[in-house]
A = this chain, B = another copy of it.
């Protein structure tokens, strides 16, 4: 019944709780499992998500699983076709390029808001911490570390921007574009990507630090546009 647990009495079941110890509903659990699975490549674009399989794999009922499908379909991560079921949504190069257009203006907004909020206590410090980490790992870190650092900087800016829905939307877009990159770049490619972005990150951070909303937005949009160009220039072998 509950995912191969050896727990036959009614005990803790800690894997069903979130970081605060709150019980997760089956739907939340399934959403998290699917998101993680997509991020880690456990589920790849185009892959069918057969209900009966995932029910046993994730350990929730069919209802919860289908609710998770609906939720993720609304985000655009999963595609649901009547009587054909759910699958990880494929993206063509064109669609990914369009998502980058969204990222450009949304992250631009984030940078602008961050420049406005940078004077709030603690914000300048967390921004500094994020960019310092990038600086440090630019020399001695692994490719994965540099990717993580870059992601963390974007998250930090979003946090400072302090617009929850904006954070949600951008985070979704990151997952969508990231799962695309996974299929189209090799590790060395990702390294290049990280290298060129450090200078651009510095420009963004500097504008935010100087509490210059307009310049922050411009710098961020330039940064995303350059990322878009790198990605859309990738080989057009397959789509997903």
Which residues of B have CB within 8 Å of A63? 63, 66
A2 part of interface (Cβ distance < 8 Å)? no
Tell me, in angstroms, the Cα distance from A113 to B165 when the chains sit together. 23
State the main secondary structure of chain A at its contact with B: helix
A210 part of interface (Cβ distance < 8 Å)? no
Given contacts A63-B66, A66-B63, contact A101 B74 (CB under 8 A): no
Between A66, A70, A113, the greatest number of chain B beta carbons within 10 A of the residue's beta carbon is seen for A70
Across the two chains, which residue of chain B brings its CB closest to A108?
B105
Number of interface residues of A (CB under 8 A): 32
How many copies the complex holds: the figure is 2
Q: Jot down 11 A-B pairs with beta carbons below 8 A, ordered by A.
A: A70-B71, A71-B73, A71-B74, A98-B164, A98-B165, A101-B113, A102-B106, A102-B165, A102-B166, A102-B169, A106-B106
Residues 42-79 of chain A: 1 if any B CB is under 8 Å from the residue's CB, otherwise 0? Answer: 00000000000000000000010011111111111000
Tell me, in angstroms, the Cα distance from A52 to B237 when the chains sit together. 50
Tell me, in angstroms, the Cα distance from A194 to B110 when the chains sit together. 29
A82 part of interface (Cβ distance < 8 Å)? yes
Structural contact, A101 and B109, CB atoms closer than 8 A: yes
Across the two chains, which residue of chain B brings its CB closest to A105?
B105
Tell me, in angstroms, the Cα distance from A95 to B165 when the chains sit together. 9
Given contacts A63-B63, A76-B165, contact A27 B70 (CB under 8 A): yes
- Would you list the 3 A-B pairs with minimal beta carbon distance, nearest first? A74-B74, A105-B105, A67-B70
Chain B nearest CB: distance from A177 CB in Å?
A: 12
Which residues of B have CB within 8 Å of A76? 165
A23 part of interface (Cβ distance < 8 Å)? yes
A163 part of interface (Cβ distance < 8 Å)? yes
A25 part of interface (Cβ distance < 8 Å)? yes
Which residues of B have CB within 8 Å of A69? 67
Given contacts A82-B25, A169-B169, contact A102 B70 (CB under 8 A): no
Structural contact, B99 and A109, CB atoms closer than 8 A: no
Given contacts A70-B71, A75-B74, contact A163 B102 (CB under 8 A): yes
